[in-house]
Structure formats: structure tokens, C-alpha cells
Amino acid sequence: MQKEKVVEEIIEILRKQPLADMTYFTSREVGILKYLLGEAWISIKREEWGKFSFSQLTKKDIESIIETGKAMNNNEITEKTAIESVISVLLRLT
């Protein structure tokens, strides 16, 4: 339950940010984004997570996360690799 709440809060932040341009993404793509953000949340220490400024995520960052998720869904990369990739994007937000 906590993970879903955190992810929804991030999506709301992104919807308010012009740089994110969330209207560009399909509901399927937003679902991929939510899933990977949730899995990243599980994998990162809370104090580290609290340092991320999600409002800095750009459309390009979001596209990168979604493409990573699509590659994972197509079995081109492992879930572990996908999560590590998302974490590397998020680490730039500190």
C-alpha cells in the first residue's frame, strides 16, 4: 500500500511539471513507469529516496525509464537490470 501511495505522489508531481509532459504518454506507458518507480522505491534506502527531486524528471528521463520497462517486458533485459537502470536515472535527481 505504501509503495502505491508513493508512486501516485510522484506521478502527481510529474503531471504538474511542464518538463515531464505527461500528456504525451499512454496509460500503458504510465503503468510501466509506475511499476518501475515502485520497484526502485523498494530497492532504495528511504533516506536516499527522500533526497530525490522528482520535479526534475524530464520527458527524456521518463521516456528512458519507459523504454527500459518495455525492454524488460520483452525479456531483452532482466528486471534487476531494469531497476538498476531506473535507479541510475533517479540518482541524478539529488
- Closest C-alpha to 83, from 44, 47, 36: 36
Cell numbers found for residue 77: 533485459
- Closest C-alpha to 40, from 79, 92, 67: 79
Instruction: Write down the pTM of the prediction.
Output: 0.93
Report CA-CA distances (Å) from 25 to 46, 47, 66.
Answer: 28, 30, 9
Element (H or E) spanning 29, and its range? helix 27-43
Domain boundaries, the chain: 2-91
For residue range 21-74, what is the model confidence (pLDDT) as tens digits? Answer: 899 999 999 999 999 999 999 999 999 999 999 999 999 999 999 999 999 999
User: Taking CA 91 as the corner, what is the angle to CA 89 and CA 92, rounded to the nearest 5 degrees?
Assistant: 70
Predicted local confidence at residue 19, as pLDDT: 84
